[in-house]
Structure 1
Amino acid sequence: MELHYVYILTNKNHTVLYVGRSKQPKIRIKQHKNNSLKTFTGRYNVDKLVYFETTKYVNNSIKRERQIKKWNREWKENLINDMNPDWKDLSDLL
């Protein structure tokens, strides 16, 4: 069974938070890291994986992504701090 990932990316200065989801996170994060300036993540250099969670079902990942996207910044930061207090790039863990 494939896992589905919900993740949060940020930029070098942690000024931007981007929430996404993927069932192929290694490929998706690599795409973010190689993004062109035409995309949101490319324009703001958002390529540092600071949070992720998994679920077995795609519907759950969609629901969770939408939920986190609606959250205010403080809630997102708390989620990140609980898993990754130093805000290290976690892309090697995938």
Structure 2
Amino acid sequence: MPFCVYIMTNRPQGTLYVGYTDNLARRVWEHRTKAIPGFTRDHGLTRLVYYEAFDTRDAAKQRERRLKSWLRRWKIEAIDHLNPHWRDLYEDIAHG
């Protein structure tokens, strides 16, 4: 999974964080272990509920900017569509 855009939360319908990375498993692990100071650590955003993969860094960055500009309800609808139970997807990417 080369470049990814992802959404972290603390609980279903909770606070949302949109980011992008070139190593999704490592980056989500950093969020989960609160290894890096910032918004996600301050708000306890440890649950990966959404991600999309891209072939290029530019495509991922562009999608991240677009998602960050979306209304909150649009982000929630996107999560609900692909992950209706707001299941933590970390195990899916960490071991597979």
Q: Which string of whole-angstrom CA distances, capped at 9 and with x for unpartnered residues, describes residues 28-73 of structure 1?
A: 0010011168411111100100000001011000000000000011
The two structures have a TM-score, normalised by structure 2, of 0.90
In structure 2, the partner of 1:80 is 79
Contact 2:12 2:86 in 1 (8 A): no
The two structures have a TM-score, normalised by structure 1, of 0.91
2:39 maps to 1:40: yes
User: Which 10-residue stretch deviates more, 11-20 or 50-59?
Assistant: 11-20
Gaps of 5+ in 1: none
2:30 maps to 1:25: no
Shift in Å at residue 13 of structure 1? 5.2
2:92 maps to 1:93: yes
Relative to structure 1, the CA distance from residue 58 to residue 91 in structure 2 (aligned partners, 3 Å threshold; closer, same or farther) is: same
Contact 1:12 1:45 in 2 (8 A): no
Q: Give me the whole-angstrom Cα distance separating, in 2, the residues matched to 1:37 and 1:28.
A: 10
Q: What is the CA RMSD across the aligned residues, in angstroms? A: 1.6
Q: Give me the whole-angstrom Cα distance separating, in 2, the residues matched to 1:49 and 1:33.
A: 9
Q: Give me the whole-angstrom Cα distance separating, in 1, the residues matched to 2:14 and 2:82.
A: 19
Give the aligned residue type for 2:11. Answer: K
Q: Segments of 4+ in structure 1 off by > 6 A?
A: none
Q: Give me the whole-angstrom Cα distance separating, in 2, the residues matched to 1:74 and 1:53.
A: 18
